[in-house]
Amino acid sequence: MFRYDNDTEAVVKPVSTHIDFGTPRQWLEFCSRTHIHGCVPSNFEIRGLTVIDCGSRQVVPAPIGAEYVTLSYVWGAPNTDPKRVEALSSEDTDLLPTDLPQTIEDALIVTQELGFKYLWVDKYCIAQGSDHFHMQIRQMDAIY
């Protein structure tokens, strides 16, 4: 069950529990073959970009030229996730929390199934309230 902000409800049912990633992988391969120069210039760099390494579940500096997937979604109501602020502001850990929202868990799986290693999720890749935050916000168009 999903509840909207105005207390109306909608039932969300999965269409299938299995996804065939073959077709979207073929689409990505087609784009790679037919876009000879790529979608982004080879010398293009986003300063201070961090991404989630889907294998290690760590937030790491993005290797120069690395391909990554981005997730755009609504975080939910403010202050509903007290661990969010803690996870983002903590400088002593780069590991993702163990109790991630299902949307992010699914995005980690989809990223890997599509053949990518890195995922960018603003909630975990931008430290809120830091200088890094402002630098990343100014580059959001390039990140997406």
pTM reported for the whole predicted model: 0.72
Higher-scoring residue by pLDDT: 84, 70:
70
- On the question of pLDDT at 110 being above 80, the answer is yes
DSSP state, residue 7: S
Q: What is the mean pLDDT of residues 43-51?
A: 80
Higher-scoring residue by pLDDT: 132, 85:
132
Q: Give the whole-angstrom CA distance, residue 26 versus residue 35.
A: 14
- Per-residue pLDDT band at 11 (split at 50, 70, 90): low
Rg of the chain, C-alpha, whole Å: 17
Residue 13's pLDDT is what? 65
Residue ranges covered by each domain of the chain? 22-36+46-74+84-142
Residue closest to 65 by CA, chosen among 86, 51, 83: 51
- On the question of pLDDT at 15 being above 50, the answer is yes
